[in-house]
Structure 1
Amino acid sequence: MADSDSVLSTTTGTDQQDDPLAELPDEQLVQLIEDTIHANEVIRNEAEMFDKFFRRVEPKETNNLQSSLNYQTPVAQVQEIYGRSRKRSKSRSSAVDKLLRLSAEQKCDIAQRELEELREEIDKLKEEAERVLDNYRAGLEEAELRFSEIKKAVYEFDRDICKGSVNPRTGKVVAEKVVRYFEDKLRWRDTLIEKLRLKNSTLKVQKKKLQLQLKQKEEMGEVLHEVDFNQLKIENEQYLEKIDEKNQELLRLKLMAGNTLQVLNLYKKKLHTLTMEADRLHNEIASRNEMLQKFDVETVTVEEEREVAEKKNIQLRRKLSDYKVPNVQEYVEKKADLCDLQKTVKNWERKVEIAQVHQIF
């Protein structure tokens, strides 16, 4: 409003002086024009807001507002402004002197009322939009259900009638099966209608009970007011924050559990590998123990054989120590006797063979 005052004062000065704007440079003139346009825009917005407020508020509410406030109401001032604007003279200076302006507190009160009305209208539009959207969603769900039912009915009709009710001799559909099919469908529809009717009656009874309970609460003063709803909203926000914190904590614990599970699987694999290695080593130890037992038995046997060989060796050593080597003449004579004996043995063996042959023949 300060800009509008400056513009009005400048405009009033132009009536009193010849042409003071001619002495101003172009930059100041451009700035003055921009300020004037901005001030006119502000005044136009304020006038539109006052006009809406004046057309909406009834005289009874205007009197109540005037009694509740200790200053003149904006409506009365607007009416006075409108009455004075009709009697305004051609001179701008006299109009500005007689013009009664609204205070900043009154403007703020009007703007607050308009803002509340605008919020209420926005809430109503949101509710209406939600209602329309719910209706569209319900219609869409109903259309989807009907489409699925129609698709299912077409499939069943094609399966039971078009393919299952054809007479193989004539190649035509049997009428009795078609009539029976539609009678079954009608009975199923009647059953479904009866179920829905019973469900609807049950819901109506529940609705009456809830309305009666609500009426009793209203009579007893237990109905929640706006303050209670605001308190519930605050508590709900607090609980939502706690739920978010718990969800974050749960996510962190899930990640920790996943990492722990990976480590556990790794250790399980290692344990399985070590268990297989332990089984292999156990089997190898058992086989080595069996071999060791066999070696012990063989060792005992060899030890016994060694003792026998050692005794025999001792006897041979004793004989060797007592043995005396004959002279060469005696050796040659013994060798000649051996050759003679071998020849004699061969002769006797030949004679025996000949005698055996004679006995055969």
Structure 2
Amino acid sequence: MLQTHHRSSISQHSRSVSQFMNEADELSDAELVKQVNDIKQQIRVLALENEIFEKTIMRLDPTLMHGIQQALEFAAKMQSGSSLNINSFVKSTSKLGMESVTSPSRMLTSPSKVSARRVDSSAKFSGTVTIGTGPRINVLERSELVSVEMEILINTLERARYKAAKQHALLKAQLEEIDLREVEIKKACEMFEKEVIIDGWDKIAQRIPAEIWIRFMTEWVKIIDAQIGKLRLRTSTLNTQYSKLKGQIRVKAELSESLRPVDFDKLKIENNECAEIIDTKIVQLAELKKMTGDANLNLTIHKKLMMEQNSYLTNVLKTIKLKQKQTKELDKERDVIRVQADSLAQRLDDVKKVRLAYEVPDVMDYVNIKSEVTDLKNSIKVLENRVHIQQIALASLNRKLTLMLMS
């Protein structure tokens, strides 16, 4: 019977494919593209549903997954149109199909938690079974499967986050410890090189004495012991603080669990007292705001007066600076005038001296000197004429010489 149903399903699939091809021939390009996109979206949704369904089956009963791979291979062969061995596939999957038909509620019922909602959904689920087609899952059951898988994934993610945070803190602490060890080792190496190798070298014996090495190691061990003591004290202090905080948290948890109505009444009374105090403080705050407003008004008035005084003071300072500048310029002019007056006074004295020492010469001497000057001027003119004549003669001789050389 199952074989006949599988054959009928295969024939229905082939008919649906041929019908889809005929409809695709009648569709336009835009409609065909839209239909292809819709089919792709449906394929993605079905793939996601199959993944969730597979995870649910593997979580509840992994034995139900036997034969699924053969079913997938059979579907691939059926789509490729190759020859099918239906009898072998039916024999390998009949057991799985009967189990899934007879017990569909196993896929929706958790072994650790069973709810009435899932029982109802499993009843609905079992009611949708038809011969040859297998069970179908409605929307409510799908949403329930998705919510369960999401809860499982969220819990797994939270556990992974907690574990990762813990591992991160551990690795960070280890890195800090390694850094501290590296710093301490470097300090110890530098100290050893300075105090033992460099300062402890004996130039006479050409070696490092053992006493220096022993003394260095003793001091270094003392320093390390002191640091270890400090670290132990700090660790004990931190442990004590941790214990106190843990105890406080435990006490608070116990108090929160052992609350009584009297405690709420007490809190209500305390809240009323606090409300009265707040009202009083609000009244005082209003009075202080009023006083602050008056003070701000007085402050604004005095600020305005102070600004006027500052502007007047600024003008006075500018005037003083201008007068000082003018005074400096007048001082410079006074010095210049004083120098000029001194030079003019000196010239006046010289003129007075020349005037006092001047004597009027004799008239005949003046006439003789004048005649001599006239004779000299005439002699100069005669000599200039001679020079001019000589230059003309020289020029003519040069021309003749040039002509002779050219000929």
* TM-score after normalising by structure 1: 0.48
Higher relative contact order (CA 8 A, sep 6+): 2
* TM-score after normalising by structure 2: 0.44
